[in-house]
Structures are given as structure tokens and as C-alpha cells.
Amino acid sequence: MYLPTLRKAALSYRLLLLLFLSATTAYAQNQPPKREPFVLGHIDRIKSVQLNEERVLNIYLPDGYDADPKVKYPVIYLLDGSADEDFIHIVGLVQYLTFPWIDALPKSIVVGIATVDRRRDFTFPTHNAKDLKDYPTTGKSAAFMGFIEKDLQPYVEKTYRTNGQKTIIGQSLGGLFALEVLLKKPTLFNTYVIASPSLWWDDESLGKQAPMLLKQSSTAAPTNVFVALGNEGPEMKKATEGMVSLLRATPARVGRIDYVPFPEETHATILHRAVYKAFQTLYKKPK
């Protein structure tokens, strides 16, 4: 007499089990997939004595950096190196060009200098009244140069395995600053990659000072310089090509200078293609 009741109970149990399994499966299917972080580099923070502030460095270490503690690497210093500026796409170029089957660039450390106030850090004092009014924090490039020389480079060379080869990349006001370093403190870097430099600053005074500054630094070791210019208009073109001509006229100071116009690029779009071309040009291997 209990058999039908037992069968009903077993069927109910199976039905409940099926419903539970079905609900569990549906829940699992509706959950988002497990995600892991995609790591491109890491962040260092250093206290700058020269600037009296903390500065953020975005660091990319080449593939295999931890494999052999005896290998040392070139360092690429990137102005405007915040994560939301140029760090990610420039690191992408470095990673791509160092793939073994491409091998167009030596494996390199990239140090992206995150921006705090680029107008302050990348410009020397101006006598232009409108610029002073519009950009009141400008004119502190000497302090930023001191930061690179006395805080940043010693930190990088102490913390990472470097081989003495140092490249700076700068665009716009960053290009103006890179040119100022080249003229005033040329030994800070071996290679300069400069895109659409803002030579209009202070009524083009850096171009006017360049002949004297090149003579003053005539004993410095020759450097490699790559200059690119987008479609910037006649004044910017004249100022940039004038600077290139001055640099070419001092082969003892500038060992190699390449100038590549990109008329199809704007001030905003030039950097990626300019850096790619610079790496291809400066590190091209003989056939």
C-alpha cells in the first residue's frame, strides 16, 4: 500500500533535483567570465628634490628582463608618459619592434614620465605678454631638467639594469623641451626623437639662441636626432626646418640628424607615426 506513495516521493525528489540543477546551470551561465588583469607595466613613485613633489613613473620592462640578471638595456624616456597620454601606444611600438621576427629595435626599458603641469615643466620663461597672461604657471623647464638629471636618471640607473643608452621622446611642448635639452644639456641623452616642436614659444627665441648654444656645447659627444613635423602651417615649418639646418651645420655636435615631414598628419596625430619612423630609421640595420 506504500509503494505508490514511495514512487511519488521519488519522482518529486527527482523533479526537485532537476529543477535545482537547471537553476544552478542557468545561474552559472549568467555569471560574467572570470577576469584577470592585463599587465603592461608597473608604477613607481619618486620624490623629486628638484621639483619638491612626488612624480609618477610608468615603467615597461622588456620581455625576458627577469630571465638573465646580467643583461643591461637601453632606456627610452617618454615625456607626456601618463597612461591616458602616450605611454600605452609608445610601449606598444617598442614591444612590437622588439619581437624576434621583427628585431628592428633593441629590447628597451620605457620610462613614462606622468604629466603634472606640462606647460610649467616643458617651457622656459617667456617675454610674450599674451603667453604670460594665458599660461601663468609656465617657465620652469630648468627645474624639470634638473629633475631629469639629478632625480630621475639616477633613480632609474640605480633601480634597473641600464646600459647607458638614453633616448628622449617629446612632442609639441615636449618637443620644445627636448630641443632645449639638446642645446643646453646635450649629454643627458644619446638620442632625441622630436615631433612637431613648439618653437613658436617666446617668439621663437630658442631658434635665435641655437647657434650660440651649439658653440657652447661643441665638446659634447655627438648625438642622434630625429625630427618630424606634421601639417603645422608655414611658420612652424619655417622654424622647424631652420632648427634642423642649424643642427646639420654642426656635425661634431649632432652626429646624425634625420628630418621627416608628415604632411598628412596633424599636430594631434603625428606622434605615433613619427616614433615608429624614428625607430625604423635610427636603428635600421645594414643590409
Q: Quick one: which of 85, 119, 106, 280 has its CA closest to 193?
A: 280
Sign of torsion over alpha carbons 282, 242, 236, 138: positive
Lowest mean pLDDT among 16-30, 36-50, 164-178, 247-261: 16-30
How many angstroms separate the Cα of 108 from the Cα of each of 18, 71, 75, 153, 204?
A: 58, 11, 6, 15, 34
User: Beta strands of 212-273 (E only): which ranges?
Assistant: 223-229, 254-261
Residue where the block lists cell 656635425: 251
pLDDT confidence band for 199 (50 / 70 / 90): very high
pLDDT confidence band for 5 (50 / 70 / 90): low
Q: Tell the CATH topology of 42-282.
A: Rossmann fold (3.40.50)
Q: Quick one: which of 97, 91, 104 has its CA closest to 59?
A: 91
**What's the pTM?**
0.88
Does pLDDT of 235 surpass 90?
yes
> What confidence score (pLDDT) does residue 250 get?
87
